[in-house]
Amino acid sequence: MIETVLSIGLPIDERLEIKKNRIVPLTPLTGEEKRISIVTGTHGDELEGQFICYELGRRINKDIIHLKGIVDIYPALNPMGIDSITRGIPAFDLDMNRIFPGSEDGSMMEHIAAKLVADLDGSAACVDIHASNIFLTEIPQIRISEETAERLVPLAREMNVDLIWVHGAATVLKSTLANSLNTIGVPTLVVETGVGMRITREYGERVTDGIFRLMKKLGLWDGETAECKEPMISDRPEDVSFLNAPVSGIFLPRVKHCARVKQGDVVGEIVDPLRAEVLNVLKAPCDGLVFTIREYPVVDEGSLIARILGGVAE
């Protein structure tokens, strides 16, 4: 059943509507059912979640007999952004994932944020799907703050991702949807997978498999689920090395995403096309797995080039 979570008038003959697909079991509802919420599309240029929402809905509908709880799928928290290829909220130049938990009395977008949090409140779990941005490609991973790790890591293990990355509390952004939901007691997993403006079907299928496993763990699904691989878990800051551009230029990668590198291997070069010069040769600071790689060639000094998970070299 398609439900309108909120509807707000725009100046000329249009409404901003955020919708969800509520899928319920065939048996009559008792009111005691658990609910899982799948949200994506906070950033209008992150599209990996579009396939996951479609695929999840398709598979549940096909085997709905196995559904034992409520599934709410929100494919577009920022519908104007998705439909206009805009990362933030069009017309407001705001990053939607920096205004939570919002406020009923606040601006229009803060009001929307507050309504969304209220609608998601009460879920047994929430999966918030992101796709990095147009600059970086990511392996399927879940990012968790240190303070919620004890509660969330057991759930994240079900999600069929390659990596569970536990962050230090100081680096957690307080104004995200996930942080706001975790704060009010809705266990929320942030999935980062793939790259902005594209859909990586293989990753999408894996994450969808993971959501079914999570639903089974929570008692919302009693059908078959796919086997999942044991994720790598990184919970020490020193596990992950960051490689940032020391100079501005054009980045030419020398390794592929997910490559296993040795310390000192060339990850790529930053070149100056005007002078036909190599400005910098970027080398791996440690042995490990390149789980994030720069996709967009133009780099400023400081632009992230790669993240390497240490200790995973062959």
Partner 1 sequence: MKKEVLYELKALYRDNMRINCRKFGSGEKAAVIVAGVRGNEVQQIYTCGMLVKRLQELEKHGKVTKGQSILVVPAINPYSVNIEKRFWPTDNTDINRMFPGYNLGETTQRIAAGLFEEITGYRYGIHLASNYIPGQFVPHIRVMDTGWDYIEEALDFGLPYVVKRKPHPYDTTTLNYNWQIWETMSFSLFTNQTDTIDTEGAEEAVNAILYFLSNKGIINYSGEPGCVSSLVTEGELLPIKSRAAGIFRPLAETGEQVAQGAVIAEILHPYDCSVKAKIHSPVNGTVFFRQQKSLAYANAVLFRIIPQK
CB of 89 to partner 1, least distance (A): 11
Which of 184, 226, 247, 252 lies at the binding interface for partner 1 (CB under 8 A)? Answer: 247
CB of 195 to partner 1, least distance (A): 14
> CB 267: neighbour CB atoms within 10 A?
22
- How many angstroms separate the CA atoms of 145 and 174, rounded? 11
Which run of H or E residues covers position 271?
Answer: strand 266-272
Which residue number, 11 or 28, has a Cβ lying nearer to partner 1? 11
Letter for the amino acid at 26? L
Count of residues in contact with partner 1, rule CB under 8 A: 44
Which residue number, 112 or 156, has a Cβ lying nearer to partner 1? 112
Which residue number, 91 or 313, has a Cβ lying nearer to partner 1? 91
Q: Which residue, among 81, 73, 36, 80, has the nearest Cα to 56 in the 3D structure?
A: 73
Q: Which residue, among 138, 165, 182, has the nearest Cα to 231 in the 3D structure?
A: 165
Q: Binding pattern to partner 1, positions 19-48, x when CB under 8 A?
A: ------------------------------
CB 25 within 8 A of CB 64: yes
CB of 102 to partner 1, least distance (A): 10
CB 244 within 8 A of CB 304: yes
- Within 88-127, the residues that bind partner 1 by CB under 8 A are 88, 91-95, 98-101, 105-108, 111
248 contributes a contact to partner 1 by CB under 8 A: yes
CB of 187 to partner 1, least distance (A): 19
Which of 87, 157, 294, 307 lies at the binding interface for partner 1 (CB under 8 A)? Answer: 87
58 contributes a contact to partner 1 by CB under 8 A: no
Which residue number, 52 or 177, has a Cβ lying nearer to partner 1? 177
Q: Which residue, among 177, 200, 212, 154, has the nearest Cα to 74 in the 3D structure?
A: 177
CB 82 within 8 A of CB 60: no
Which residue number, 15 or 58, has a Cβ lying nearer to partner 1? 15
- Rounded to 5 degrees, φ, ψ at 211 are -65, -40
CB of 229 to partner 1, least distance (A): 30
Which of 2, 9, 28, 227 lies at the binding interface for partner 1 (CB under 8 A)? Answer: 9
Which residue number, 90 or 223, has a Cβ lying nearer to partner 1? 90
CB 135 within 8 A of CB 294: yes
> CB 159: neighbour CB atoms within 10 A?
22
275 contributes a contact to partner 1 by CB under 8 A: no
Which residue number, 143 or 157, has a Cβ lying nearer to partner 1? 143
CB 194 within 8 A of CB 133: no
- Rounded to 5 degrees, φ, ψ at 56 are -65, -50
205: which residues sit within 8 A by CB, 6+ positions away? 55
Does residue 28 sit in helix, strand or coil?
coil
- Within 169-208, the residues that bind partner 1 by CB under 8 A are 173-175, 179-180
Q: Which stretch binds partner 1 (CB under 8 A): 68-76, 116-124, 255-263, 293-301?
A: 293-301
- How many angstroms separate the CA atoms of 293 and 291, rounded? 7
Which residue number, 105 or 202, has a Cβ lying nearer to partner 1? 105
- How many angstroms separate the CA atoms of 128 and 77, rounded? 10
Residues binding partner 1 (CB under 8 A): 8-13, 87-88, 91-95, 98-101, 105-108, 111, 133, 135, 173-175, 179-180, 242, 244, 247-250, 272, 274, 298-304
